[in-house]
Amino acid sequence: MHRGEPSYNQPMKFLDLLRQAERQNSSMLCVGLDPEPAKFPAAYQGDARKIYDFCAAIVEATADLVSAFKPQIAYFAAHRAEDQLERLMAHMRSTAPGVPIILDAKRGDIGSTAEQYAKEAFERYGADAVTLSPFMGFDTIAPYLKYHDKGAFVLCRTSNPGGDDFQNQRLASVAGEPRLYEHIAQLAQGPWNLNGQLGLVVGATYPAEIERVRELAPSLPLLIPGVGAQGGDALATVRAGWREHGPIVVNLSRTVLYASAGADFAQAARQVAMQTRDQLQAARLA
């Protein structure tokens, strides 16, 4: 039986896999895998050939604490380490078979090019979901929805200050003049979500806007970066975004990956992940 398949031998849909991992590990935490060799512990420092080894150790240390892993493809491609990413994807499927993998690629093209990007994410790397930019419209999203058991997180209200340049602008041509991020949330909850596969990326640095997105998209999973090094507040994030039928995936990368520069880096990563997982769970119950 393949990873995530129920007994009737049909692939489990991404959202079901995510909810199962959330229950199994009592977790809303996603560990982002953004390997920077210059920041590796002393034994690996500066050696791009050790990307797999470093990330695999983090995965092994945190596999029972997370609801998802999120490798960022640029951190591998920049070091010509796509082969290491392929090995890592296989290692995650073996080490944490119940934990979904979100490939953070932020692809945003159309037509046959988008089809190739979808094939890369879901066939080459075997990801369970991918991040996408919707700037070119539904044509950007459609090729990924052909993979009915997979998920796609659409950029909606990102955590960077420059997000205001477009995402916070009002659309005079749309009834009610919603802000762009509000319009994206409505499209993802409604006409774009053909097979129930979509989620939204919303930054933890804007809790009031997480709450607004949740109003507009009550059932979609939200991928929330920005807690930790970027300054997002975990309690405010959970209160704004988590709903019983609307899961959240709170991403933490650098704070976990580089918790220690010593030989104990994996144990230190586990400790930070456990503390954050428990903090998020406590916020849900508060």
Catalytic residue list: 106
- Type and span of the H or E element at 284: helix 265-285
Burial class (CB in 10 A: 0-12, 13-18, 19+), 100: buried
Listing DSSP states for 172-219 in one string gives: TTSTT--BHHHHHHHHHHTTT-TTS-EEEEE-TT-HHHHHHHHHHSTT
Cβ pair 154, 200 in contact under 8 A = yes
Whole-angstrom distance, CA of residue 135 vs CA of residue 109: 9
Q: Rounded distance, CA 225 to CA 204, Å? A: 6
